[in-house]
Each structure stands twice: as C-alpha cells, then as structure tokens.
Amino acid sequence: MDPVCADKRQHPRMVEDRMNPAQINVSPEQTQEYWIEIAKSFVSDQTKRAKNTNKAKNVIFFLGDGLGITTITAARLLLGGEEKKFSFEKFPHTGSSITYCVNEQVADSACTSTAYLTGVKANYATAGVNAKVPRYDCQAWQDKTHFTTSLAELAQKMGKSTGFVTTTRVTHASPSGLYAHTADRDWEDDYEIQADGCNPAEVDDIAKQLIHGDVGKNFNVIMGGGRRHFRGYSVYDEEGYRAKRSDERDLIQEWIDDASKPNKEYIWNKEQLMNLNVSYTDHVLGLFEGSHLLYNLQAKALGREATEPTLEEMLYKALQIVNKNDEGFFLFVEGGKIDLAHHDLELRASLDETVEFHKAIELARNMFSEEDTLIVVTADHSHAVSMAGYPNRKHDIFGYSGNANDNKPYFTFSYANGPGYDTHVVEGVGRVDPRTLDTSAWNFPFPAMNPRDSETHGGEDVPVYASGPWAHLFTGTYE
C-alpha cells in the first residue's frame, strides 16, 4: 500500500471534526516561543531543586485506588483541559511502581496494600501476610511469623498519631493492610470466615482486628464506611442498613466502651463530622455508611450532599486531630471509589472521584510544610480503560472520537472488558449506535470489548508522586 494512503487509513478523522487552531482558542500555543518558555521554566525549576534531607515529622500517604495513567489523563481533561495539571503532578519527584502479586501478574488491592504499606509482596487477595499464606488458608494464617509489619505500626512505636480516611469500607482491602493480617480480603466479618469453612474462634476477622488488634486499637482516626461489619445480623443501623456479623457482637459499642481511649467520639453522619470538636477529640471512629460511601456524583443526584461527607471534609478533621501530637503523625488517605466506578464502567463517576482525590491532596499540601511533612501519592493498580481515536482539543471527553467501519461513532474512552458490553452490543445485530443512548447519567456504563460482570484491573506500572523530606528517594522504577 502507498505510504501516504496507509497513513491516512491509520490516522482517520471525521470531516466534521477537522478544526483549525483558531476554532479551539489555542492561539498562544501556535508560536515556538510559547513552548520554549514552558521548557525553560521546567528546566529552571528542576535545577533549583535541592534534596530535602530533613527528618520527616509527618507522613501522609495518598492512595488513589485504580488511579492509572489513563485515568489521570482523563480526569485532567475533566478538571480543566489537556494543559491542566493536578496538584500532585506538580510534586518535584516522580517514579513508577511495579504492581504484580507474588502469584498473579495483575494485582488486586489486598496484595498491593501489603506491598506499599509493609514492603512485602504477597499473594492475590491476602493482606498483612507474606506469600507463605495462600488465599483462604486458615492454618497458614495462624502462624504469626507470616505477619508483616505496617508503616502504621512503625509510626505507633515511634509515638506518632496514626489513622486513615477512605471513601470505601474501613475494612476494605486497601486500608486493611495498615492493621490487619488476613488470608482473604473478604473476611471483613466473622460470617465471611465461616462461609469459607474456617472457624472465627481461631481466625480473627478484619473488623475485629481493627477494633481490638495491636495496631487497629491504637488508631486516633478511623473514617470511612462499612458499619455493617461491626454489628450483629439482627441489628439495623442508624440509617436502616442490616448488619452482617453472626456472633451478634457490637464492635462499635466495644470501641466506645474502651477505657484506654480518652476523649473519643463515634460519629456516623456529616453533621456530626462538621461539628466535631477536634480540640477535645483524640480518637474518632467515623462510619458514614453501611457499606462504601456514596460516589460524589451519586450523593448530588440523590440530594445527599448535606449528609454525605466528602473525602476532603473527612481529611480536614482527621488532620486537625492527628496534628495535635508533638511527635508527628502518619495518615493514610484513600480515594477508593475511583476503582469501584471503573469496575462498573462508570467513567464519569471515576473521573469525578479522581478530582475529589486531587482536592484532598491539595488541602493537605497547603496545610503542611514541605520542610517537615512528606506526602506520597500513588496507586495500587490501574484499570482496563483506554483513550483512543483522534479527538480535537477541548472536545467532550465523554463523547466520540470518530466513526468506526460500521459508520457509527465510537467513544473516546472504552474498556477491554466489563458489564457495559450488553449496553453497546446486541447479539446477532451488532454494535448499538451510541447516538441513540442517553449517556448523560453519572452511572452510564461505557463500552467494553468483552462481557464480564465486573471490569478487571490493569497490570501496568503505576505512577508515584512525592513531595517533602527525602522525596527524591521515590524516583526511578521499583517494586
């Protein structure tokens, strides 16, 4: 084939999309000087940077669950355009992390949580244990030499305040690596342990470890969702959700009754959070949903903004509490619903959760100096989402990139697999014309190539951004 013809075939554009720069208002970018100045500014910033070798009094670890490069790029477009940068993208030091589990090429959030919180790679779906513990193995779990030591445990031994904030259940995979040791990430309560044929009298569930475990019981801050795993099955919680424990224990009440925690508060709604007296409070247990917190867009759609706290709001109170300790603090912060939205192909929700995650990071960096506070931002894995086609600058990221060979437009973003397949493909007929679909809902499922009940993770490396003391050590590619 003629090279010119081949190039046109490989890089097609819809005629109606062929816009010139004047039409998309990028006139400053049409000159060489514009780009040269950007490059000069970048080089100048890089050469002025000195290594910060101060001792880190405080450490804030931000985990964007499922926040791969494609998600960052897409959310950046949503935030303000191709040239926009998130607060953490301006951090001085970056690297990349290799995410596989010991026994799986593509990781889940439990084995990765063990890796980045304890420094030890583990088997798929296990947390806080080494790779000698296979998933579901009750006997291997009972050998305490297999337990790993988390950053939270080390910080507690140093006399620092500790805690975590998440938009998922507080017993979910990512935060569990801070305080739990489990052969299955789903062992969030005793019922789940029994369901897998193990004995809860011999194996501690994750919720129990959070309230009574050596690390969990010492947290100053616990905020997220998941009330259902802390009370008995016969109990309906503050918002009418049924609990799940088969032992009928009330772990929330046990936390409240713990005499070793002075100045404590249990809260379950946004009003209580906003009215929390941080000067008095040294320990807070905030469980704001029966399961995960609502998506930010979902809360808006349901009119729940007045009752559902945002990640930024939870973080602000958490930082005020842990910062009272003269020895400093370690805080883990998870934007967990970036991941959950991707699993359902709900791209709008995932990108909006990424923007919310960025707001929380910006808050923390503005509250604390780089001189004594290390902030690290990373992900545990990516997702099977891709950005394709040749869309114009400033085009709707939830729109189409061009026409496929069936003369129907295709979305700029799509997934390799997931539950959106049936929305976009009719068996025996072919692809649904996306122009006939209402794509405006916050939970609209974007197209998937292969049908699955839930979209899978991606296996590529994920970015790491660092700012503060010894942040330069996070450059390079590492496990």
Q: 174: annotated binding-site residue?
A: yes
Cβ atoms of residues 193 and 237 within 8 Å: no
**36, amino acid identity:** I
How far is residue 420 from each of residues 149, 174, 240, 409, measured CA to CA in Å?
Answer: 40, 26, 31, 16
Question: Is 41 considered catalytic here?
Answer: no
> Among 58, 41, 45, which residue's Cα sits nearest to residue 370?
58
How far is residue 1 from each of residues 14, 218, 389, measured CA to CA in Å?
Answer: 22, 69, 22
Q: For residue 390, what are its two tokens?
A: 């040749």
Q: 380: annotated binding-site residue?
A: yes
Q: 457: annotated binding-site residue?
A: yes
Cβ atoms of residues 264 and 283 within 8 Å: yes
How far is residue 294 from each of residues 130, 186, 337, measured CA to CA in Å?
Answer: 33, 20, 9
SS (H, E, C) 19-87: CCHHHHCCHHHHCHHHHHHHHHHHHHHHHHCCCCCCCCCEEEEEEECCCCHHHHHHHHHHHCCCCCCCH
Helix-, strand-, coil-residue percentages of the chain, each rounded to 5: 35, 20, 45
Q: 467: annotated binding-site residue?
A: no
**CA-based torsion, 427, 432, 436, 442: positive or negative:** positive
* Axis-axis angle for helices 347-367, 311-322 (nearest 10): 30
Cβ atoms of residues 313 and 277 within 8 Å: no
Q: 65: annotated binding-site residue?
A: yes
Q: 339: annotated binding-site residue?
A: yes
Q: For residue 186, what are its two tokens?
A: 């789903």
Q: What is the dihedral of CA 440, 444, 447, 450, to 10 degrees?
A: -170
Q: Which of 109, 161, 401, 467 is catalytic?
A: 109
* Dist CA 251 CA 257 (whole Å): 10
Q: 214: annotated binding-site residue?
A: no
| Residue 461 per-residue DSSP state | -
**CA-based torsion, 366, 59, 223, 295: positive or negative:** positive
Give the gyration radius of the chain's Cα atoms. 24
- Residues with a catalytic annotation lie at 109
Instruction: Point out the annotated binding site for Mg(2+).
Output: 65, 172, 174, 334
Instruction: Point out the annotated binding site for Zn(2+).
Output: 65, 339, 343, 380-381, 457
Instruction: Point out the annotated binding site.
Output: 65, 172, 174, 334, 339, 343, 380-381, 457
